[in-house]
Structure 1
Amino acid sequence: MTVDLPRLASWLRCPVCAADLEPVDRLTLGCANGHRHDVNKRGFVSLLGGGTKHLGDTAEMLEARELVLEGGAYSPIADAVAAATAGPGARVLDAGAGTGYYLRAALAASPDAVGLAMDLSPQAVARAVRASESVDGLVADTWRPLPVRSEIADTVLDVFAPRNLPEFHRVLRPGGSLVVVVPRPDHLGSLRAAGTMLDIPSDKAEDVTTAAAPLYALHTRETVEYDLPLTDALRAALAGMGPSARHAAAAAPAHVDATRVAVDVLRLTRR
């Protein structure tokens, strides 16, 4: 694939000194202070550095996620995310992008928009970049200072992912939107009742809104709820695509025929 190096660089700042990154060679980005960062031939750059304590998704988790998402099981959630995203020409950063499914949906709803898929997993970022010519890729840790320029994004997406609210605020333009998707207590309830998935706090949306209040104003809160018929493959993939895969790997998928999808989609405006 051809790497759009100027477009990729336009998102980024040096993780060492925070100076803007620019193309300095065919597959190299650099800053004015002499720091250099190699770009992968698959179209993304890793600015992770050392010392992270977190783990990216495994290849098995990504395969499970693709089975769920590309099969349309969560398409109503993707539609709600797309509806909350900025309009034509938007710059959209997806923090914890995974395979880029929700980012692609957001870009499809915004003509001439471009996106940056950021994730801790190089395998996930490679898939996200490969799936869309409008997406650049960044391997980085959401919990650390982001190697992303200040006030560069119109929208930040955070879908079932960790939230670094101060850093998201910094990279958003004034008045930009943070779109957060969190599960409701009954999300995938029949699978959780069977013990194959982790429990959910009682009101994650309320917790997010409260934590965000110093930096963001709540614009909209949309609840997306529907019943999802299950096959054996989909049951196993739902349990294997997220954090439950690490904590309940030994548990067999529950033999239930359907489950409830229930999430809140929050649109928060940068103060």
Structure 2
Amino acid sequence: MLACSNGHRFDTNRRGFASLIVGSRKLIGDSAAMLDARDTFLERGWYTELRDALGALVAAESPLRVIDIGCGTGYYLRGVLAAIAASRRSPDSPPVQAPGVGALAMDLSAAAVARTVRAGLIDPDSSTHGLVADVWSPLPVRDGAADVAINVFAPRNPAEFHRILAPGALLAVVVPHPGHLQELRAAGLALDVHGNKTDDLVAGLKFGFHLESTEDLSRVLLLSPGDVAALIGMGPSSHHAPTTDPADRSGSTEVTVAFRLLGFRRTEA
């Protein structure tokens, strides 16, 4: 059960999460079909390098409270929790009796939150809870509640991110590079990537956050027609009819995947 300072109570449903969406919804979250495609693609390991880099960045903070804003299938949150657990078992780290990590998986899509919670725990000493909420609205999270927030290919609300993060906390954000999926975009299968995503991100977070680290990751993947179809189906391009059906392509396709992982430190606004 969740509670607020005004005495309201919200029960967790049978799927293990709470929904605090109220009123009419103009935006919809990821559908079950999109999440299925994402599971299919990500579990084949194509984005393992990105997940490992994100996990290393977060684990270095030794956080106790992590929130994933835009959790999707929970792929990246599971990687982060695994990295934190591994860092605690590292022979280079002094043995400590630390409490388990508390994780909150948040998304506009109830199907996404349910899937993340259902995926279970990486570390038996950790706990993952789910929350359906709209990132564009005031977040139903208390001030300074999180040591780390991760935001992977998801919308951002800088003022609310600043409020819910503890002083000095880390905000880890992943955005696509302009070259991301360039072959599929040239073939009319994927939407264009805005060329100034990093500049827009830094500008949007300049009040209350300091850019502390930047890591670029890029690979050329050799994908089967099924992999290409899953890659298109798991993202925003799935909402737009492509000029050709990716499943009809024959042979393997070279596809560039390119990301930028940015670490921001919360400062006083």
Q: Does 1:262 align with 2:235?
A: no
**Partner SS for 1:132:** coil
5 Å-filtered alignment, 1:1-271, equals 28-31=1-4, 33-86=6-59, 87-111=61-85, 112-133=100-121, 134-248=127-241, 251-253=244-246, 255=249, 257-271=253-267
Q: Counterparts of 1:29 and 1:90 in 2: how far apart (Å)? A: 19
- Residue type of the alignment partner of 2:64: A
Task: After superposition, give the CA deviation of every residue in 1:1-26 in whole Å (9 maximum; x if it has no partner).
Answer: xxxxxxxxxxxxxxxxxxxxxxxxxx
Which runs of 5 or more structure 2 residues have no equivalent in the other structure? 86-99, 122-126
Q: Percent same amino acid at aligned positions?
A: 49
For the 8 Å contact 1:118–1:140, the answer to whether it is kept is yes
Match of residue 91 from structure 2? none
Which runs of 5 or more structure 1 residues have no equivalent in the other structure? 1-27
* TM-score computed with the length of structure 1 as normaliser: 0.86
Q: Tell me how far 1:38 sits from its aligned partner.
A: 2.2
- Residue type of the alignment partner of 2:105: A
Q: Counterparts of 1:249 and 1:156 in 2: how far apart (Å)? A: 34
Match of residue 10 from structure 1? none
**Partner SS for 2:51:** helix
- Residue type of the alignment partner of 1:107: L
Q: Counterparts of 2:243 and 2:22 in 1: how far apart (Å)? A: 33
Runs of 4 or more, structure 1, over 4 Å off, are none
Q: CA 1:35–1:270 in 2, change beyond 3 Å: closer, same or farther?
A: same
**Partner SS for 2:180:** coil
Q: Tell me how far 1:106 sits from its aligned partner.
A: 0.7
* TM-score computed with the length of structure 2 as normaliser: 0.86
Higher relative contact order (CA 8 A, sep 6+): 2
Q: CA 1:32–1:169 in 2, change beyond 3 Å: closer, same or farther?
A: closer
Q: CA 1:58–1:251 in 2, change beyond 3 Å: closer, same or farther?
A: farther
Task: After superposition, give the CA deviation of every residue in 1:227-266 in whole Å (9 maximum; x if it has no partner).
Answer: 1110111100111101111123674118461111101000
Moved more, 190-199 or 251-260: 251-260
